[in-house]
Amino acid sequence: MRPQVWLSPMNKTAIVLAKRVSSKILILRNQKIILDTDLAELYGVPVKRLNEQIKRNHERFPSDFLFTLTSEEYQNLMSQDATSTHGGRRYLPNAFTEHGAIMAATVLNSKRAIEMSIFVVRAFVQMRQDMAVNQHVVSKLSELEARLDGHDTELQDLVGAIQELISPLPASNRRIGFETPPLAPKPPED
């Protein structure tokens, strides 16, 4: 039986927050990102204020920190239910990478944004670790599959040999048994 681990209220809150942040992280353009609406919610500011600060400090957000989604990407996310359509949007959403999310906390300069940025960093790190574990599992599965492919051909050969042994022999019109030689005509008796 496993020992029970008692979590303090602070630890429980941290776990809940970390899971909440992790659920907001998406993969887009082969990068882990968090959308501006989700980041603003986590940082406790309106999306409009977040985006205003980004525009005012645009030099702090190079393309590897922040990018704007294309309309196709946004439609794809909406169709996957990754974003809510509540209230609508005038502009396409911004996507923050891990570094962009941290930088956003510094330009917002609010206590909550700074506190939540720690959870954002931890969520990105956890996701990176999970992906590394998944890569290891995928490589092991590929290795196993390669081994099984070799076994499959061996098994197919074995099944083929067994089928040959149990298949009936072709029918023969030859009669089974001994044949007696034809009787030679008896010499005439005189």
Domain regions of the chain by residue span: 14-140
Q: Give the tens place of pLDDT for each residue, 54-81.
A: 999 999 999 999 999 999 998 888 887 6
pLDDT of residue 8: 45
Exposed / middle / buried, residue 128 (Cβ in 10 Å: 0-12, 13-18, 19+): exposed
Tokens matching residue 152: 């499959």
Cα dihedral 123, 126, 128, 133, rounded to 10, equals: -150
Residue pointed to by tokens 């019109």: 173
Q: Give the tens place of pLDDT for each residue, 78-119.
A: 887 655 554 567 889 999 998 888 888 888 877 777 777 777
Cα dihedral 36, 37, 41, 47, rounded to 10, equals: 80
Over range 140-147, report the average pLDDT: 76
